[in-house]
Amino acid sequence: MSSDVNKPPILVTRAIFPEVIARLAEHFTVESNPDDTLWDRAELVRRLQGKVGVFTTGVERVDADLLARCPSLKICANMTVGYNNFDLAAMTAAGVLGTNAPDVLTETTADFGFALLMATARRVTESEHFLRAGHWTRWSYDMFSGAEVHGSTLGILGMGRIGQAIARRGALGFGMQVIYHNRSPLSDALEQECKARYVSKEELLKTADHLVLVVPYSAASHHAIGAAELALMKPTATLINIARGGVVDDAALAQALKDRVIAAAGLDVFEGEPSVHPALLQVPNVVLTPHIASATEGTRRAMAKLAVDNLVGYLVHGRAVTALNPEVASRT
C-alpha cells in the first residue's frame, strides 16, 4: 500500500500484476489486496470508505445499496468486458462512472471459444478421463466418435466483436456455414467479412451443429437457453457458453445432457460461479473450464492496463477511455 495524502485514495479489490499497482501508485494512494482475500460485502464496503475509485474484476456487485454506503466513490473500473456486476442505472443516479475493458480480449476469447468448441465436438475431456482411468485397452472403430467441425454449421447467438471473431475462424479456417442471431443484423459489409447469415433465434437453434453463446448477460438474456430452447436443437448438436453464467439454465442443460437431448456442451461460465450446478459434474458429455476464456498473460495484462487507464484518465485528467455511462462524466 502506498500512502501519500496528496493523492486520491483508491481500492484494488483483488491481487493483480505488481506493475499495475506501481502505476496506480504514481497517481493515487492505493489500498491493494496482495493476498487475494475474498472480501464479503461488509468488508468491501468498509474498505471503500473514503475511496474515490475502485479497480474491480467483474464480480464485485456495485448497486444502489453499496453506493449509498460509499458516498465518496466516483468511478468503478472493471478489468473485464462484461459488467453485469454494475447496476448502471443506480451508478448513473449516484453520479458514479462505470468503465469496462472491451476489445483487448476479443481475439483471445474467440480463440478459447473455438478451442472449447473443438474439445466438446471431439469429446476431448471425456476421452482423456477414459484414458486416465486405465480403460483404453484396444482400438475400436467407434471409440469416442465425435461431431465434424469442418464443413458443419456454426451458430452464434450474440454477434458483437467476439461473435464476429468466432465467425471468421469458423468460416475462413474450417469452411463452416455461419449463421447468427442478434438483436439486430450486422451491416452487409460486416456480414460479408464474417461470411455469416442472419436468421431467427428459432432457426438458429434448429439448424446449428455447434451453437456458441456470446450474448451479454442482462435481464433480457437471463436463461436465453433453457429446456424449451434445448429441445429445438439437433440431438447431435453441441452448445458452447463463453458468455456469462445465467444466459443458460444450467439445471435444464444438465438434464438435457443426461437425456441426450443434445450431444454435448462446453461451458466456461456458470450460474452462481464459482459454484457449479452439481448435476453438471455428473454427466460425462460436458467440458467444464473455470471462466478462463481471456486467460493469457498478455490479454490479462492488457485488460488490467485498460482499467488503470480509465482510473487515471477520469480521476486525473477528467476523461475515461471506455465509459459505460458517459453522461456521468459530462456532469463534472
**Which positions are annotated as active-site residues?**
244, 273, 291
| Nearest-angstrom CA–CA distance, 121 and 238 | 7
Distances (CA, A) of 200 to 65, 204, 213, 261, 284: 39, 6, 15, 21, 31
- Helices and strands of the chain, counted as H and E runs: 14, 12
On whether the CB atoms of residues 58 and 85 are closer than 8 A, the answer is yes
What sign does the CA torsion over 238, 243, 248, 251 have? Answer: positive
Residue 198, H or E segment: strand 196-198
Residue 78, H or E segment: strand 75-78
* Omega of the bond leading into 274 within 30 degrees of 0 (cis): yes
On whether the CB atoms of residues 101 and 313 are closer than 8 A, the answer is no
| Nearest-angstrom CA–CA distance, 328 and 315 | 13
Sequence-distant (6+) residues with CB within 8 A of 304 are 16, 17, 20, 79
State the angle between helix axes of 297-315 and 18-25 in degrees (0 to 180), rounded to the nearest 10. 10
Residue 56, C-alpha cell as written in the block? 474491480
Sequence-distant (6+) residues with CB within 8 A of 129 are 284
State the angle between helix axes of 161-168 and 106-121 in degrees (0 to 180), rounded to the nearest 10. 50
How far is C-alpha 101 from the chain's CA centre?
A: 11
On whether the CB atoms of residues 86 and 62 are closer than 8 A, the answer is yes
